Structure 1
Amino acid sequence: MAKQPPKAKALKLLAQDAEDLEVVAAALQDAVLKIGDITWEAKARRLTLQVNRYRWGAEEPERVRAAIQVGSVLGVQARRLRRGASEAVVEMLTLAFEPGEAPGGRLVFRFAGDADLAAEVECIDLVLADISDPWAAKSEPRHED
Structure 2
Amino acid sequence: MTDARFEEGGEEPLRLIAQDAEDLKVLSSLVQDAVLPVTELKYDAKRRRFAALVNRFRWEDRSEAERVGRAYERVRSVLVVEDVRKVQSFGFDRSGKDLVLSVLSISFEPGEDGTGRLTMILAGDGAIALDVEALEVRLDDVTRPYRAPSGKVPRHD
Verify same fold: TM over 0.5.
yes
Per-residue CA distance 1:58-80 (angstroms, 9 max, x = gap): 21311000001111000000002
Unaligned runs of 5+ in 1: 1-5
Greater helix share, structure number: 2
Alpha-carbon deviation of 1:86? 2.4
Q: 1:99 aligns with which of 100, 110, 127?
A: 110
Instruction: Specify the alignment match of 1:81 in structure 2.
Output: 92
Alpha-carbon separation, structure 1, partners of 2:84 and 2:60: 32
Residue type at the aligned position of 2:21 = A
Instruction: Specify the alignment match of 2:41 in structure 1.
Output: 38
Q: Are the aligned partners of 1:8 and 1:134 in contact in 2 as well (CA < 8 Å)?
A: no
Q: Are the aligned partners of 1:103 and 1:122 in contact in 2 as well (CA < 8 Å)?
A: yes
Q: 1:122 aligns with which of 110, 122, 133?
A: 133
Alpha-carbon deviation of 1:112? 0.4
Alpha-carbon deviation of 1:81? 2.5
Instruction: Specify the alignment match of 1:47 in structure 2.
Output: 50
Instruction: Specify the alignment match of 1:16 in structure 2.
Output: 19
Query: What is the identity percentage for the equivalent residue pairs of Structure 1 and Structure 2?
Result: 40
Alpha-carbon separation, structure 2, partners of 1:61 and 1:82: 31
Q: Are the aligned partners of 1:35 and 1:81 in contact in 2 as well (CA < 8 Å)?
A: no
Alpha-carbon deviation of 1:87? 2.3
Alpha-carbon deviation of 1:41? 0.7
Q: What's the secondary structure of 1:124's corresponding residue?
A: coil
Report the RMSD for the aligned CA atoms in angstroms.
1.1
Q: What's the secondary structure of 2:59's corresponding residue?
A: coil
Alpha-carbon deviation of 1:7? 3.4
Alpha-carbon deviation of 1:83? 1.7
Q: Are the aligned partners of 2:116 and 2:131 in contact in 1 as well (CA < 8 Å)?
A: yes
Q: TM-score, normalised by structure 1?
A: 0.92
